[in-house]
Amino acid sequence: MSIWEKMTSLPREIVMGLVLIAMIIPAMNPLGLPLFTGDMSRAWYNTVDALPAGSVVLFDVGYGSGGYPSLGPGNIAAFHQMFEKDLKIVMMATALEGSMMYPLVMEGVKPEQNYGAVYGEDYVFLGYIAGGQTAMAGVLGDLKALVSVDYEGTSVDSLSIMDNVNGADDFDLVAYMTTAGGTAEGWVYQAYSQYNADVLGGCLSMMTTSIKPYYDSGQILGIMDGIKGAADLEFLTGHPGDAIVSSDILSFTQALVLIFILIGNVSFWMTRGKGEAS
Amino acid sequence: MVSVDPQIWIAAFFTIAATSYAFRDNVVFKFAENTFIGVAAGHTIVMGVKNIRDYGWTHIMQGEMIYSVAFLLGILLYARFHRDYYWLYRYPIAFLVGNGIGISIRAAIHSDFIVQVAATASPLIKSDALGTVNALITFVGVVTSISHFIFTQEKIHEGAIGIVPKIGRWMMLLAFGASFGNTVMSRFGMYQGRIIFLLREWLQII
Amino acid sequence: MDYRRDIPLAITFLIGIIAVLDYYTGVQVITDTFTLIKNWGVVIQGFALGLGAVNLLRVHGKRISQRSGGTDWMFSGWLLLMMAMFIVVGLGTGQYDAGPTYSWIYNAIYLPLGATMYSSLAFYMAYGSYKVLRARNFDAALLFITAVLVIMGNTPALAATFPGLFYTREWIFGPIVSGAYRGIRIGIGMGAVVLGIRTLLGMETGYLGRR
């Protein structure tokens, strides 16, 4: 067996083991590389930045444990910006685990401690609402006909933030972060098409290409593109966190993937005609 | 200094157990897999009951007895497990399907069709040369990729005109390549969270 | 009239039409009716969340009672125990997902498992890139080129050294991705609308089940 034939069939364990090592090394020794921010993340940041203080944002925590490493840091950075701008945030969850992500995100933002925000006055969490687009349409249509208590069972009538919030017309911005394709397009359907609302969308990087047409046509004003978008938001808002740390890990792992792609292709072409790697 | 918090230790164990499958199937992974399915189902039940309480039961408690219809329909869903009365579950399913389709198609026509066509039909000549080139590529991409999916007219895929859907396929392959590239980043972006957890929360070495 | 089939089809049509009329007419009585329908929908979806668990209970309960699949029945027992633990803690405390004990078990068990199960595909992405992403022919080469360029642009160390890679990645996400995916999006839109109309009119009945 020639060297090229060996190179084209490296054992799975070796490839995966090297990937694991490539994740651990940069996590222990961060490089602190400069960051280029993308257009879509800047558009997200600028949209929020343009809102006057006191504007009300409807925010969907539409992800769970699987999406938290990618979207959680971006969610924290986004909330930092919103609380700094003194915006009011009405949160809900269209994901089953969204209500479990809420305390994790709030632990990272610490709105009371950092911004003097008060629960019920400056922000509220309505909890998980089942039904996907039905839940979105319900909240945007007649919120109080659907929701009467918040996540902890407190009546929404007793929360001052909800005094003038009844539906889509009372939200200045609708934003979401999700791992579900149906949720990503659902908010465009329900908020933009139905009410012409301003919408921001956060999603996993692998979903970005499919919701990009909405961004190009102005239906979504900004996209937080997974871990890359999260790192951009952390940089733009001046709150570095796990996403920027992840940039170094991505440098190592993706460079390794590129090396494997190179090895795979060179060895494929060198062994072509010998019935190898068909 | 390694963490002494039992919660962190349990989480670290399950992280390693779930990762172990990537290298080889094993009994520890099987244990983790069954645990995952069990807790996911348990969590789903809890959220389901809470949902019924918050958005259904509270209304009934406020005297809106009409919500008992929703309860009846919800209970009928479970008729699907009955040998003779399984057909009763079709009533709530029909309700959900009608509601789901009604809610989505009314907006899909606007979001996915009207607005997208309008965006494509915008002027191709822009103020700068790159903008014009980009607009042209986008226009060609839209028209040709749609033509690739026209199956009712087979002739469009043959002869000289066949180049149009072929360009569409090439455009889509280029776009799928971008999608693949982003998927690589996405998966690593997700797993690095577990690495950071193991090193920072569990082993406490970063 | 077959009440097992025709009434469900009529329900689908009626509910769907009310939703569509609400969008296009904005008549108050229709809007109010549709608000009630949406709220019912949320409640029924809440009930639907239990269907999977009941199915799990049936399958694994049977496996335990028959002691089938070698030692698999023990795993089934463990699965049901974990399910029961979450239900007891969640419902027993009356605090559901907002309780501290529930949070504790979620963060100890569900969070790491959920995060790892989904993300461990990263290893397969790496291996798949090595074994499958090959420029074997013209079509594969097209996919290969943008995949490699996007991965390079997404790699912060490379983008920092060669900024052109980052801008190339940004450009690919411009006209290339926008053009192709907008075409796909228009196709999806048309397909969804046609399928929706067919379902509302009772021409698609798959959701009623086969029995």
CB proximity A260 to C under 8 Å: yes
Are B119 and A246 an interchain contact pair (Cβ–Cβ within 8 Å)? no
CB proximity B163 to C under 8 Å: no
C1 and C31 share a domain?
A: yes
Please tell me the distance in Å from B149's CA to the nearest CA on chain C. 8
Which residues of B fall within a CB distance of 8 Å from A67?
Answer: 190
For A148-180, the three-class secondary structure string (H helix, E strand, C coil) is CECCCCCEHHHCHHHCCCCCHHHCCEEEEEECC
For residue B103, the one-letter residue type is I
CB proximity B113 to C under 8 Å: yes
Among C42, C44, C200, the residue with its CB nearest the CB of B101 is C200
Please tell me the distance in Å from B118's CA to the nearest CA on chain A. 8
Query: Which residue in A196, A189, C42 sits closest to B104, CA to CA?
Result: A189
Give the count of Cβ contacts less than 8 A between chain A and B. Answer: 153
Q: What is the pLDDT of residues C78-102, one digit of tens each?
A: 999 999 999 999 999 999 999 999 9
Most A CBs within 10 Å: which of B112, B185, B201, as the mutation test of the A interface?
B185
Q: In total, how many domains does chain C have?
A: 3
C126 and C196 share a domain?
A: yes
Pick the CATH number of A39-240 from 1.10.3470, 1.10.10, 3.10.530, 3.40.50: 3.40.50
CB proximity B167 to C under 8 Å: no
End-to-end CA distance of chain C, in Å?
18
Please tell me the distance in Å from B155's CA to the nearest CA on chain C. 19
Domain boundaries, chain A: 3-29+248-271, 39-240
Are A99 and C98 an interchain contact pair (Cβ–Cβ within 8 Å)? yes
Residue C207 lies in a domain: no
C75 and C98 share a domain?
A: yes
C100 and C52 share a domain?
A: no
Residue B168 lies in a domain: yes
Please tell me the distance in Å from B163's CA to the nearest CA on chain C. 14
Give me the pLDDT at residue C54, please.
Answer: 95
Are B186 and A213 an interchain contact pair (Cβ–Cβ within 8 Å)? no
Residue B114 lies in a domain: no
Q: What does the block give as tokens for C11?
A: 């329900």
Residue B86 lies in a domain: no
The whole domain housing B164 covers: 122-197
Share of chain B above pLDDT 70, in %: 100
Most B CBs within 10 Å: which of C91, C109, C154, as the mutation test of the B interface?
C109
Residue C111 lies in a domain: yes
Q: CA torsion angle for A251, A254, A259, A262 (degrees, to 10)? A: -130
For residue B196, give the chain A residue with the closest CA.
A27
- With a CB cutoff of 8 Å and minimum separation 6, the contacts of B108 are A189, C189, C192, C193, C196
**What is the distance of C-alpha A203 from the center of its chain?**
5
Determine contact, residues B76/C8, Cβ cutoff 8 Å.
no
The SS3 call for residue A93 is strand
Count the neighbouring beta carbons within 10 Å of the beta carbon of residue B67: 21
Residue C210 lies in a domain: no
Calpha distance A219→A122 (Å, rounded): 27
Q: What is the pLDDT of residues A110-138, one digit of tens each?
A: 999 999 999 999 999 999 999 999 999 99
Determine contact, residues A224/A203, Cβ cutoff 8 Å.
yes
Calpha distance C37→C29 (Å, rounded): 12
With tokens 């080129």, the residue in question is C145
Q: In total, how many domains does chain B have?
A: 1
Q: What band does A273 get if pLDDT is binned at 50, 70 and 90?
A: low
Query: Dihedrals φ, ψ of A58, to 5°?
Result: -95, 120
Give me the pLDDT at residue A278, please.
Answer: 43
Give me the pLDDT at residue A277, please.
Answer: 44
- With a CB cutoff of 8 Å and minimum separation 6, the contacts of A182 are A132, A133
The yes-or-no verdict on residue A33 having pLDDT over 90 is no
Residue B189 lies in a domain: yes
Calpha distance B36→B89 (Å, rounded): 28
C52, C84, C119 — which closes off a domain?
C119
Mean pLDDT of chain B: 94
| Residue ranges of B 120-159 with Cβ closer than 8 A to chain A | 138
For residue A19, give the chain C residue with the closest CA.
C123
pTM of the model: 0.94
| Residue ranges of C 95-114 with Cβ closer than 8 A to chain B | 96-97, 102, 104-114
Q: What is the pLDDT of residues B104-145, one digit of tens each?
A: 998 999 999 999 999 998 889 999 999 999 999 999 999 999
Residue C205 lies in a domain: no
Q: What is the largest CA-CA distance in chain B?
A: 72
Residue B29 lies in a domain: no
CB proximity A246 to B under 8 Å: yes
Determine contact, residues B10/C109, Cβ cutoff 8 Å.
yes
Residue C208 lies in a domain: no
Which residues of B fall within a CB distance of 8 Å from C146?
Answer: 174-178, 181
Q: What is the pLDDT of residues A37-50, one digit of tens each?
A: 999 999 999 999 99
Give me the pLDDT at residue C209, please.
Answer: 83
Q: What band does A7 get if pLDDT is binned at 50, 70 and 90?
A: confident
Spell out, as residue ranges, where chain C has pLDDT lower than 70. 210-211
CB proximity A206 to B under 8 Å: yes
B148-152, B170-174, C194-198: least confidently modelled range: B148-152
Are A141 and C35 an interchain contact pair (Cβ–Cβ within 8 Å)? yes
Give me the pLDDT at residue A276, please.
Answer: 47
Q: What is the pLDDT of residues A140-180, one digit of tens each?
A: 999 999 999 999 999 999 999 999 999 999 999 999 999 99
The yes-or-no verdict on residue A275 having pLDDT over 60 is no
Are B196 and A245 an interchain contact pair (Cβ–Cβ within 8 Å)? yes
Give the count of Cβ contacts less than 8 A between chain B and C. Answer: 413
Give me the pLDDT at residue A1, please.
Answer: 72
Give me the pLDDT at residue C51, please.
Answer: 95
CB proximity B101 to A under 8 Å: no
Question: B132, exposed or middle or buried, with CB in 10 Å at 0-12, 13-18, 19+?
Answer: middle
Residue B157 lies in a domain: yes
C61 and C75 share a domain?
A: no
Between the alpha carbon of residue B188 and those of residues A20, A175, A250, C54, the distances in Å are 10, 25, 7, 35
Can you list the pairs that A149-157 forms with residues at least 24 positions away whose Cβ atoms lie under 8 Å? A149/B54, A149/B58, A150/A124, A150/A125, A150/A126, A151/A99, A151/A102, A151/A125, A151/A126, A151/A127, A151/C97, A151/C98, A152/C95, A152/C98, A153/B54, A153/C98, A154/A120, A156/A124, A156/A126
Query: Which residue in C173, B112, B179, C146 sits closest to A43, CA to CA?
Result: C173
Partner residues linked to A62 by β-bridges: A178
Residue C206 lies in a domain: no
Q: What does the block give as tokens for A58?
A: 């409807």
Between the alpha carbon of residue A52 and those of residues A55, A87, A91, A120, C60, the distances in Å are 6, 8, 19, 20, 55
The yes-or-no verdict on residue B206 having pLDDT over 90 is no
For residue C205, give the chain B residue with the closest CA.
B94
Residue C211 lies in a domain: no
Give me the pLDDT at residue C211, please.
Answer: 61
Give me the pLDDT at residue C68, please.
Answer: 77
C144 and C105 share a domain?
A: no
Give me the pLDDT at residue C71, please.
Answer: 84
Q: What band does A96 get if pLDDT is binned at 50, 70 and 90?
A: very high
Are B43 and A127 an interchain contact pair (Cβ–Cβ within 8 Å)? no
C140 and C191 share a domain?
A: yes
CA angle B149, B154, B155 (to 5 degrees): 115
Query: Which residue in A181, A232, A225 sits closest to A205, CA to CA?
Result: A225
The whole domain housing C101 covers: 71-119
| Residue ranges of A 68-87 with Cβ closer than 8 A to chain B | 68-70, 72
Residue C209 lies in a domain: no
C119, C153, C187 — which closes off a domain?
C119
Q: What is the pLDDT of residues B18-44, one digit of tens each?
A: 999 988 889 999 999 999 999 999 999
**Could you give the strand order of the β-sheet that contains A199-203, starting from the edge strand earlier in sequence?**
A123-128, A88-93, A56-62, A173-178, A199-203, A222-225
Calpha distance B89→C169 (Å, rounded): 50
